[in-house]
């Protein structure tokens, strides 16, 4: 279970015992990303059920999303902001990568975070009661699974956290991750889940296409942004006819 613990250490801010992972261990932990996302979803589901005894259900759903942000340390939202700033503001590959590396967040990055959070919150609030628990549980796994797929692309930097994944990745990681999230989607939502997964991958894939054209690959920020867009696309798509 070392790989799962490393994935949780990397993807969350939950204090876990054990030594810091080596670059190889970090890279090999990618296959466990969907499982880590599923555990994150389970934690937010607990928040939803607990908060439901104290506040209105709609607010409890939003608080469940907030708990996901807190548990992940807003890691992927930060990547989303940096990615949008870089891809929108850079005129060539070097400038795009430089802007992404800048710790300051620009106006477009802030807008991207706000839009994603609003879409997630609206989707979760509008979900029928029969679907909301399953959506909160599965959506984080879908987002982390999309990140594993993104890691199959060439790494665009010479150095960085993402280099560990680029150097240690296995060809089967993306296949295993996709099969896992596909199984979760089928068990939870049947054909609607498959359609929502395709929508999630489409959202993430659109960003990957832009990143490929701009910088010739991915960075850690791009992978985080892919996860956020995939999770958002899944939550919106799993609404189906439920909002009508």
Q: Quick check: helix, strand or coil at residue 30?
A: helix
> Would you state the structure tokens that stand for residue 153, as one six-digit string?
């692309």
| Whole-number Å distance between alpha carbons of 94 and 128 | 46
More confidently predicted of 169 and 172: 172
Tell me the angle at which helices 107-126 and 129-150 cross, rounded to the nearest 10 degrees: 140
**Quick check: 58 and 127 in contact, CB under 8 A?**
no
Closest to 226 (Cα-Cα) out of 180, 162, 136: 162
- Rounded Cα gap, residues 164 and 75, in angstroms: 17
- Nearest partner of 235 among 143, 140, 139, judged by Cα: 139
* Confidence band of 26 (pLDDT split at 50, 70, 90): confident
Residues 6+ apart with CB under 8 A from 20: none
Q: What percent of the chain has pLDDT over 90?
A: 77
pLDDT greater than 60 at residue 231: yes
Statement: residue 224 has pLDDT above 60: yes
pLDDT at 243: 47
* Confidence (pLDDT) at 172: 86
Domains of the chain, residue spans: 2-6+29-237
* Interatomic CA distance for residues 84 and 210, integer angstroms: 10
Q: CA angle, 143 as apex, 198 and 117 as ends, to 5°? A: 105
Residue 244 has pLDDT above 70, yes or no: no
Quote the pTM value.
0.93
C-alpha to C-alpha distance for 37 and 229, rounded to whole angstroms: 14
| Band of pLDDT at residue 242, cut at 50, 70 and 90 | low
């Amino acid at each position: 279970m070392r790989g799962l613990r490393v994935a949780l250490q990397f993807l969350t801010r939950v204090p876990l015992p054990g030594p810091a992972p080596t670059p190889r261990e970090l890279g090999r932990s990618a296959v466990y990303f969907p499982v880590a996302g599923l555990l994150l979803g389970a934690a937010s589901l607990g928040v939803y059920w607990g908060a439901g005894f104290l506040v209105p259900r709609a607010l409890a759903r939003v608080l469940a999303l907030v708990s996901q942000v807190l548990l992940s340390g807003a890691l992927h939202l930060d990547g989303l902001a940096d990615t949008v700033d870089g891809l929108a503001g850079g005129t060539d590959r070097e400038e795009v990568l430089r802007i992404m590396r800048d710790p300051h967040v620009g106006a477009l990055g802030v807008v991207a975070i706000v839009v994603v959070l609003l879409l997630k919150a609206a989707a979760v609030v509008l979900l029928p009661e029969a679907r909301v628990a399953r959506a909160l549980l599965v959506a984080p796994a879908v987002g982390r699974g999309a990140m594993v797929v993104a890691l199959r692309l060439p790494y665009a930097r010479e150095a960085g956290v993402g280099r560990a994944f680029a150097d240690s990745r296995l060809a089967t990681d993306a296949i295993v991750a996709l099969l896992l999230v596909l199984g979760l989607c089928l068990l939870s939502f049947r054909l609607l889940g498959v359609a929502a997964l395709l929508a999630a991958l489409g959202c993430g894939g659109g960003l990957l296409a832009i990143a490929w054209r701009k910088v010739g690959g991915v960075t850690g920020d791009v992978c985080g942004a892919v996860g956020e867009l995939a999770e958002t696309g899944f939550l919106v798509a799993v609404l189906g006819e439920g909002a009508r």
